[in-house]
Amino acid sequence: MKIIERDSNDYLTIQICGRLDSGTAGELEAWTGTFIPNPAHPLVIDFAELDYISSAGLRVMFNFARELKGSGVRFAVCRCQDHVREIFEISGFDTFIPLYASPEAFVAQ
Amino acid sequence: MNEAEYFLERTEQSLDDFHDWLAGLGQSWGLSRTMVLEINLIIEELYTNCIKYGGGPDSGPVRVALARSSTEVQILIEDRGPPFDPLKVQPPDLIQPMEERQAGGLGLHLVRHFADSCGYARRSGKNILRLTKVIGCG
């Protein structure tokens, strides 16, 4: 798994690439632990290159989403692959983590 | 009928190696990418469950056996941990609001969703899970 951060004027992007499973979820958890939420700066979580997610990855995403919500940061998961989207939906995550086709669509909201 | 087996050690690296092995197997068995990902998910969830609730390193590796017929893939997962039937675990409440929801408990929910059938037996000191996935036309 790889985490890439990008900052544009309008929003911050973190792209999560590869596999988010029980072997790698800890890395993302460590990253979220260092993240400083800024309510003025929306966050795009880019899943375009996320090939696989298991319950270990979902657990980290859940805690991160709860933290973001609590600190008033606008955020969304963008460009989900179908397989990952299905897992999000089965888990009921799409009710509290907004999913968008693209970062542009999210920012335009 | 094609058959293959894999022994998952109780170490961190083992799932990565297993993933590569399964991807190769899926290719030679002509399985779709989605099918391979879903089988991978089922096995990861049940394996991590064995590690969490099962015995320590003394229990040895978790055995995974796969068989492909023309219509389905059978998955068998065997471990020597204490008796535990993961299929009896209460499913999580998915309609609770986020604030009240627990982060965990989703693994077995995903297993139940993606497997077309599943069954548990305790035999010769082993937990034995048998699951199937029907091969769709997709």
Q: Is the pLDDT of residue B42 over 80?
A: yes
Residues of B in contact with A96 (CB under 8 A): 97-98
Residues of A in contact with B50 (CB under 8 A): none
Q: Is the pLDDT of residue B10 over 90?
A: no
In contact, A23 and B16? CB cutoff 8 Å: yes
Strands B72-79 and B126-134: antiparallel
User: What is the pTM for the complete model shown?
Assistant: 0.94
Distance CA B135, CA B113 (A): 15
Which CATH number do you get for residue A11?
3.30.750.24
Residue A73 C-beta-side C-alpha neighbours within 13 Å = 22
* Nearest residue in chain A measured CA to CA from B99: A66
Helix (H, G, I), strand (E, B) or coil at A98: coil
> So what's the pLDDT on residue B110?
95
Q: Is the pLDDT of residue B104 over 60?
A: yes
Q: Is the pLDDT of residue B138 over 70?
A: no
Overall number of domains in chain A: 1
DSSP string, A30-82: HHHHH----TTS-EEEE-TTEEEE-HHHHHHHHHHHHHHHHTT--EEEES--H
ipTM metric:
0.93
Query: pLDDT tens digits for B18-41?
Result: 999 999 999 999 999 999 999 999
Beta carbons within 8 Å of A5's beta carbon, 6+ residues apart:
A12, A13, A14, A15
In contact, A12 and A44? CB cutoff 8 Å: yes
Q: At B137, is the pLDDT very low, low, confident or very high (cuts 50, 70, 90)?
A: low
Query: pLDDT tens digits for A43-79?
Result: 999 999 999 999 999 999 999 999 999 999 999 999 9
Amino acid (one-letter) located at B89: V
* Nearest residue in chain A measured CA to CA from B94: A92
> So what's the pLDDT on residue A63?
95
Query: pLDDT tens digits for B55-90?
Result: 777 788 999 999 999 999 999 999 999 999 998 888
Distance CA B46, CA B43 (A): 5
Maximum alpha-carbon separation in chain B: 48
Give the closest-approach CA distance of B98 to chain A in angstroms. Answer: 7
Task: Provide the residue range defining the domain that includes A23.
Answer: 2-108
Distance CA A2, CA A17 (A): 5
CB contact (8 A) between residue B15 and residue A22: yes
Strands A75-78 and A99-100: parallel
In contact, A24 and A1? CB cutoff 8 Å: yes
Amino acid (one-letter) located at A26: G
> So what's the pLDDT on residue B124?
95
> So what's the pLDDT on residue A10?
85
Distance CA B52, CA B97 (A): 27
Strand partners for A31: none
Strand partners for A15: A4, A46
Nearest to B106 among A23, A51, A55 (CB): A55
> So what's the pLDDT on residue B23?
97
In contact, B6 and B40? CB cutoff 8 Å: no
In contact, A50 and A79? CB cutoff 8 Å: no
> So what's the pLDDT on residue A92?
92
Q: What is the mean pLDDT of chain A?
A: 95
